[in-house]
Amino acid sequence: MAQVPAIEVSGLKKKYGDIQAVDGTSFSVDEGEVFSLLGPNGAGKTTTIEILEGLRNKDSGTAKVLGLDPWESGYELHKRIGVIPQGFKFLDYPTPREALSYYGALFGRKVDPDELLRRVILDDASNVWFQNLSGGQKQKLGMALSLVNDPQVVFLDEPTTGLDPQARRAVWEVVRKLKDEGRTVMLTTHYLEEAEELADRVAIMKHGKIVAMGTTAEIESKFGSGQRMVVKGGDDLLKYLRESTRLHAEGGAGSITIFLRDKSDAMVALGAIEESGAAWEDLTVRRDSLEDVFLKLVGEGGSIEKGVE
């Protein structure tokens, strides 16, 4: 039996007034996959996820979750998906244990609040009023609430925005557990590391369009430049490399970059540097990281944040 993708989006569009928030995006997410939409503020991540959750209607294109149209079949779908909105908030006074019992009753599900709290690693704060929970604990409660109906697909919209690095890592741990339990997770983030750390596949979104998609390794190799050797050295070294080899070398400000097409280029470059007799130091070989690729695709002004370590 052919497996139906957990999420299927094709040519999806949504406009608010003059703003084309989602501009013809297509992607599909397999069951059990963690898929991340990564992009700066305003890229169209929340709009996409809200259409998939059935909270917003699309203008055109196709959106399917578990084979259902979220707008047409919201009632049925909401029994099978977990949703935590961006900037999740709750009433001030219930404790996590009370909130979970309440949600369970709401969904007509028999839940064991303590078991759910253990699953999101919040059992240490089961009796603390919501208003007194830390940012990370609030997010974990949001995740526990989204699990009340034992969802097949969980949507997390920027679950760690504004959290400190330690709290962020705690949330990551819970996301990994969701994956281990076989659930499909769609996660939006503007933190590069978060997508790198959690997602099986990433789609980079900018101005409503997906500009790159794949595993991080695939994105790096497709959009990154190849390997290059960087060495500190002067114009004499650059001149020697250009005249005595067929390598492509560029230089400036005491640093020379040699673009390597294959391993033999690397050997030629090393040999030539040594033979040149010129002064050199600090030789490194590098390729574009996911971060380099992001900055290229999204632009320096794209407000892609690197998590604070």
Ligand X SMILES: Nc1ncnc2c1ncn2[C@@H]1O[C@H](COP(=O)(O)OP(=O)(O)O)[C@@H](O)[C@H]1O
Q: Which residues bind ligand X (CB under 6 A)?
A: 16, 19, 21, 39, 41-47
| 3-state secondary structure (DSSP) of residue 37 | strand
Residue 246 beta carbon to ligand X: minimum distance, rounded to whole angstroms: 45
Burial class for 307, CB neighbours closer than 10 Å (0-12, 13-18, 19+): middle
Residue 171 beta carbon to Mg ion: minimum distance, rounded to whole angstroms: 16
Cα separation, 286 vs 20, whole angstroms = 38
Cα separation, 286 vs 231, whole angstroms = 11
Among ligand X, Mg ion, none, residue 276 binds (CB under 5-8 Å by kind): none
Cα separation, 304 vs 291, whole angstroms = 9
Among ligand X, Mg ion, none, residue 16 binds (CB under 5-8 Å by kind): ligand X
48 binds Mg ion (CB under 5 A): no
* Contact indicator for 160, 87 with CB cutoff of 8 Å: no
59 membership: H or E segment, kind and range: none
Strand partners, 213: 203
- Which two structure tokens, joined as six digits, stand for 11? 């040519």
Among ligand X, Mg ion, none, residue 42 binds (CB under 5-8 Å by kind): ligand X
Residue 95 beta carbon to ligand X: minimum distance, rounded to whole angstroms: 31
Residue 45 beta carbon to Mg ion: minimum distance, rounded to whole angstroms: 5
Residue nearer to Mg ion on the CB measure, 86 or 289: 86
Residue nearer to Mg ion on the CB measure, 46 or 245: 46
Residue 169 beta carbon to ligand X: minimum distance, rounded to whole angstroms: 23
The backbone region for 32, taken as left when phi is positive above 0, alpha when psi lies in -120 to 50, beta otherwise, is left
- In the list 25, 36, 46, 149, the residue contacting Mg ion (rule: CB under 5 A) is 46
Residue nearer to ligand X on the CB measure, 45 or 183: 45
Q: Count helices and strands (H / E) in the chain.
A: 11, 13
Cα separation, 279 vs 284, whole angstroms = 15
Cα separation, 247 vs 226, whole angstroms = 14
- Binding to Mg ion by CB under 5 A, coded x per residue (else -) over 70-109, reads ----------------x-----------------------
- Which two structure tokens, joined as six digits, stand for 276? 């040149």
Return the number of other C-beta atoms located less than 10 Å from residue 85's C-beta: 17
Residue 89 beta carbon to ligand X: minimum distance, rounded to whole angstroms: 17
Residue nearer to Mg ion on the CB measure, 95 or 161: 161
- Span near Mg ion by CB under 5 A; candidates 6-14, 40-48, 120-128, 215-223: 40-48
| 3-state secondary structure (DSSP) of residue 213 | strand
Residue 56 beta carbon to ligand X: minimum distance, rounded to whole angstroms: 8
Residue nearer to Mg ion on the CB measure, 73 or 86: 86
Residue nearer to ligand X on the CB measure, 21 or 125: 21
| Rg (alpha carbons) of the chain, rounded to whole number | 24
Residue nearer to ligand X on the CB measure, 21 or 171: 21
Among ligand X, Mg ion, none, residue 269 binds (CB under 5-8 Å by kind): none
Residues that bind Mg ion (CB under 5 A): 45-46, 86
